[in-house]
Chain A
């Protein structure tokens, strides 16, 4: 037991365009929610701090945000770092905290993911353009959306995935987001399939409703050694499995396939083996729906659908709130929003709340096993966690 890792605190800010808060305040909003429900907490509690932040230099002109986090929390941790792995910075931070506790170095850590993008959308977009190999691929005009458009085109051609199936992912995630008061598009409510299908084209076949937005948001998680969990809460959630893999490729040139993500298959296999679960055991999952096609491919890589049948999985309603495996109950990156550094942490928060039965209108009944999947680049890097009650 003493080597197990528990999540004891989890909090997330409201996502969206947050002109009402500074970077520091956004960080504080999530950290407060993660810490406030815990017993026996003082500044001495947090021996480890990871701040997940993809582009604060560009959007808020602030570097050294690991140290900034220590100031905000008033702590002197034994191990502290800022983590930047683009869109999967958050899950990478969780993994670092998990490893530090596993190693015996520390007992308790806090991970905070934060990104403020809407005060400077041009710089936020620039930050995203710096994610691929700029010298050898960026120079040819690749962007995140056109990279996933390449995957969508190939998946449609090879497996017959349809326009309706892509848009159905957006419709489902907006429906879930409408039930999440903290989602960026909460007030937009549900959207029709027609609206999603006929949106302005961004990079064919992906239109605006196939893409996640620019978001301001933060999320925080407190993790501790198993035998200390009860000191903080009577509702610990356990990290049962963890896996991380990266392709030897920062773009497409050394990737095994654009539509079959070997690194994700390996990360899933590592995490599921460690947790001793199979795909059918998953009660609820948050997966990285930066673009609708990504979620469809993720059904396949998670083993929920056979290769090429991800489109059918959404069409059959399997991933909806009332389906066999509800996916992205928070609204996902698509409707909850995608504050780059916060996203992977926010996924852990959503699953923690689901397993604790705290998800309100979007609660999955009797959820006991939940999975998170967070990726970066053109799906070259993946982190998977298995959580349980």
Chain B
């Protein structure tokens, strides 16, 4: 078994001080190195909250998050910022590129924050990544002049530039059409296999969930299912996730069915 990269113990999150809303009810989760895992669940099940806590953007009300044994709770704000910069890559639903900068500059920003001067090695790395996501012709275009899919690919390159151990995605294809979603999935797979990056993706997309290695389903702030797709066939894997997204057609794939199964 590969080493555990990220681990949570009894993770709880309560929002609000007067009217309290408990979003996470004790999550125990362990993510191993090299895993490509999806987190699925209905809206409000706590997926994004969990991901933000795992990404050191938000703090749990109680419980622990450990990254290679390092406890987030014992790190200062600045430690956490440096940690995010060096070990994590984020991909959001809305690409969240900085419109003031070009594609290449956007990819370089995490290296600037790390203290790099934007020269030599970093630029080479950024260009390689943009090449990997198929955008080597768009280096110097402002991000606002790129299509949605292109922007999301720039965001993926940006998430990878500091060679993070863990890539976190919060509905990274939520805003894209199905063809582009396929491309992005392909990229995730490439990154996972070629760079050995661990991926943890919150997704509403049955397609991506079905094709990831592992699926963690949250229901009302608890892990309701946690299984591996590796032993299942493609169709079975899809049947497993479909009901989450299609309440009224438990045995039919959502979004037009079989055509999504590649």
Q: Are these two chains actual partners, yes or no? A: no
Q: Which residues of A contact B (CB under 8 A)?
A: none
